[in-house]
Structure 1
């Protein structure tokens, strides 16, 4: 927390604060009007916090928030590594899965990846 000659001046950019309302740790990014702008540890969308309802985060709170952020990133990366499962009774899913199987049989990893990308795109567009 910022100090100038012993006088408290509030949090400085980069300080870790605990938002008592949201019940989470955020990195102080600055002020927007009457609000403190906090960003989740590990990145993400900022949120507004009442400056009267935040306090410096403890070491345990910071560590816990950091571990949570790392676990969320790892989980998202793992999901992208898993091949998508075709939706039953969808001709386009079936065709893309067959294309992927053919690429695997030929040991064509690039074509297999392409089929996975196309299948994910199709599923996002047609089977949200």
Structure 2
């Protein structure tokens, strides 16, 4: 059963969350009154999203993001031109 989250439900530091502006899953690195800073699963540059556009990730969303990163690691970026997640 899915859990409903309200528009003001903020994930905790270190939790996985969804940036609804982009659909990307990341780990919450910082929370301010207006924004959430994400660290991408698998590494890379951090990004920010408006706090109202962030919700906790479901287990399925977190697992899907992890599989996507694992699959990307099987390709050599020099040969495949890299992978954008």
| Shared fold, TM over 0.5 | yes
Pairing 1:14–2:8 present:
no
Q: Which gives a bigger RCO, structure 1 or 2 (Cα 8 Å, sep 6+)? A: 2
Structure with greater Cα Rg = 1
1:51-70 matches, cutoff 5 A: 51-70=51-70
Unpaired segments ≥5 residues, structure 1: 1-8, 80-128
Alpha-carbon deviation of 1:13?
2.0
Task: State the alpha-carbon separation in 1 of the partners of residues 46 and 28 from structure 2.
Answer: 9
TM-score normalized with structure 2 length: 0.71
1:96-107 matches, cutoff 5 A: none
> Which residue in 2 is equivalent to 1:74?
74
> Which residue in 1 is equivalent to 2:23?
23
Greater helix proportion = 1
Greater strand proportion = 2
Q: 1:14 is paired with a residue of what secondary structure?
A: coil
Alpha-carbon deviation of 1:74?
1.7
Task: State the alpha-carbon separation in 2 of the partners of residues 63 and 78 from structure 1.
Answer: 26
> Which residue in 1 is equivalent to 2:5?
none
> Which residue in 1 is equivalent to 2:39?
39
TM-score normalized with structure 1 length: 0.49
